[in-house]
Amino acid sequence: MVALPHGFTRIERVNEDRPLTRLDMLRFARRVVEHQAARQLALMDRWIADEERREAERQRRLAARQAAPEWAVEHGLNGRSAVYVHVGGCPGAGGRAKGVARDQAVRVLTEGGVPACPLCRPDTVLGILE
């Protein structure tokens, strides 16, 4: 008795009255290999698609990081009052930071009285002494 792989219920024969020939068994073996190869290729295709999605997301994150503004003002929870001024791309800026031009960053630091971020020190980069 031949053990059948998953998905195969019997070896198909044209004439059920004659015994299995070597050719019948070879054709069956070929169908088994073809079935297994198709399953493995489908699995590989899923892995490739997953990796392509991960790589596309990595590229989007990289592009967003490279497109970071040169300066940013972080706003408080109310969305109106400024909390810190950051150098663009500062990891401490968080999601409430908005990109600003250099002159606006200088004005917020000097006239607005908003403190400089203690991590990225935009006041030092801008040449402003406290």
Distance of alpha carbon 62 from alpha carbon 89, whole angstroms: 12
Q: What are phi and psi of 19, to 5 degrees?
A: -70, 160
Q: Is the pTM of this model over 0.85?
A: no
Note the pLDDT tens digit of each residue in 17-61.
788 999 999 999 999 999 999 999 999 999 999 999 999 999 998
Report residue 101 as tokens. Answer: 């031009």
Tell me what percent of the residues of the chain surpass a pLDDT of 90: 32
Burial class (CB in 10 A: 0-12, 13-18, 19+), 20: exposed
Q: Does the structure show a pLDDT above 90 at 80?
A: no
Residues 6+ apart with CB under 8 A from 68: 88, 89, 99
